[in-house]
Structure 1
């Protein structure tokens, strides 16, 4: 990392951070075998397709932090964030519909209840689906006891599910392409859809269904989870692989995000980015879930890799609170329209304690 001193707040809460990271990344102390040769890219886990993403019910209030939004969504599952999921919306000239993809154990409301109203105010048609929810018997994890828990199913099938939802968005809005803003696992879902759902093309970019991909804390190269997943790698090399057990506990989707998982290796093999797609990849130095934080960056020509604290050290957002960072929102708006939103906001945003 460029600046080791900024991670010192984590040292005082190492155990707490590790538990939080386990809860919200689902990564397990297990490592991965070589990438599979076929299928969805999700560790050879196969099953019935996930059902179509359901419509949200009602609209929740704008929130200033993740935990207040999380609490609201537990009591009001499947509620839309303000400004989102109006299938009657027609994009303004020069704009694409914006699809917001949440992360693991999150949902379309508790991740985007600050982002969505800002995008709607800027005139965008916004869509925030709840994807990747399946049953415990389908390796959806124990979290499915709560109706607000989504994003735990394997990423291959989640990407197919999201792709069908995006086709619905395109048909309803009359648009040719979407822009995607993704948090955490959502970035991998988008990239899986682009690569294996044929939503982006090297040789026929005019057929792309996506124009811009903007990610926040996406585990593009997998996560070591503060070293826990690295220990799991050594365990696997020693012949002890507990991946199967943890996929039942947390869900298959979280396991796909481990460093050196078959899913991550296959996703990044040969084609990792598409020159015709505009990439903005954002990481925070205080990320305790995607570690090291700069493993989110895609080192390819044309990709804009941004550290949230560069030029704004008072923003101490961690993995969850970055979705409520005014600076993060301004980065997304600039990526969508740099002429209209050239300046970035700089204000304090808390680490973890996001209410």
Structure 2
């Protein structure tokens, strides 16, 4: 069993008898969202490919309090699974929320598969559609995993900088990922088969984000390219996909980095639960509406399962 699997299994076992406090988020007249990755999977089974609750109301017009529509970008997943928890929270807080599944390929409903360049073009087209529909001048981006990294290509090469106000990256492999050490195993194989490596990099977006990949220099995840954009990163020390977890952090005067365990030591969320984690969700809302920021209330949050005691 890989080291990260043993670590997470141990955490789950240790916390199975723990009692955690709940976290309260103000969601006006909205059904209580499922703060669990499993809730997103259930939503996909019930309505494959459907928009998450509160998202993609194309008649929504941004308010003075929240003038930027929010575009949510999934990682190696889709919008139905990834944003089942966050989308209704943001909609209930008064944001216009939009999601799309981009970069689909041979894995059917799973997106973020295609090369980063192709995914970035699709994301750019969707942002233009949102701006045209809402009449807004800019959007706020919230991206998970690949969805937090791909937009840097959009900023660097596709004219995206003036269209973005806030940029929130959750568990994003901004500087590449070792996949908890698995990447090094594949790297040894690919060194002996360079033709296979070239083929993968031409067709596989996640492959471009491997630690040490030359493409990372092209991606150029540097917030200095957009000094007027406010960047927020949210990471978990228990992330098993974007590893080491510091790959999800940025450096610059326009950056705010959040390590969840610095906010709440009993938050054991890993990569997939991250977008449903109530502590992380509170930090996303704070990033998008800093004038009304509230400290998160700590909870015991389990990998994949979510908070205890909600």
* TM-score > 0.5 by shorter chain: yes
1:122-141 superposed matches below 5 A: 122-133=93-104, 140-141=105-106
Where does residue 69 of structure 2 map in the other structure? 97
Alpha-carbon distance in structure 1 between the residues aligned to 2:263 and 2:43: 33
What displacement does 1:354 show?
4.7
Instruction: For residues 288-329 of structure 1, give each alpha carbon's deviation from its aligned partner in whole angstroms, at most 9, with x where no partner exists.
Output: 001101111112232111101103011110000011111111
Distance 1:313 1:247 in 2: 38
| Post-superposition offset of 1:62 | 4.2
State the match for 1:175 in structure 2: 136
Deviations 1:196-217 (A, max 9, x none): 11111xxxxxxx1000000110
Check conservation: 2:148, 2:174, Cα contact below 8 A. Answer: yes
The aligned counterpart of 2:184 is: 230
Q: Decide whether the 8 Å contact of 1:64 with 1:114 is kept in 2.
A: yes
In 1, the alpha carbon distance for the partners of 2:37 and 2:266 equals: 18
Summarize the Cα distance change of 1:231–1:8 in structure 2 as closer, same or farther, 3 Å threshold: closer
Q: How many corresponding residue pairs?
A: 283
Paired position in structure 2 for 1:164: 125
Q: Name the Cα RMSD after superposition.
A: 2.6
Q: How far apart are the structure 1 equivalents of 2:189 and 2:304? A: 30
Q: Say which of 188, 211, 215 aligns to 2:169.
A: 215
Q: Secondary structure at the match of 2:180?
A: coil
Q: Following TM superposition, where does structure 1 have runs of at least 4 consecutive aligned residues deviating by more than 6 angstroms?
A: none
For residues 157-204 of structure 1, give each alpha carbon's deviation from its aligned partner in whole angstroms, at most 9, with x where no partner exists.
11111111111111111100000011000012221111111111xxxx
Q: Is the 8 A contact 1:286 1:293 kept in 2?
A: yes
Given that 2:119 and 2:150 are in contact with CA atoms closer than 8 Å, whether structure 1 keeps it comes out as yes
Match of 2:282 in 1: 330
Alignment deviations for residues 86-118 of structure 1 (CA, whole Å, 9 cap, x no partner): 1110001142100000001x1111100100111
Cα distance between partner residues in 2 of 1:130 and 1:154: 14
Residue 353 of structure 1 and its aligned partner are, at CA, apart by 3.6
Is 1:110 paired with 2:81? yes
**How far apart are the structure 2 equivalents of 1:342 and 1:75?**
34
- The alignment partner of 1:226 has SS state of helix
Distance in 2, matches of 1:87 and 1:300, equals 35
Residue matched to 1:64: 35
Q: Secondary structure at the match of 1:176?
A: coil
Consecutive unaligned residues in structure 2, runs of 5 or more: 10-30
Distance 1:271 1:323 in 2: 22
Q: Secondary structure at the match of 1:124?
A: coil
Q: Does 1:11 align with 2:6?
A: yes
Aligned to 1:36: none
SS of the residue 2:184 aligns to: helix
Identify the match of residue 73 of structure 1 among 21, 44, 67. Answer: 44
Give the Cα separation in 2 of the matches to 1:112 and 1:270: 26
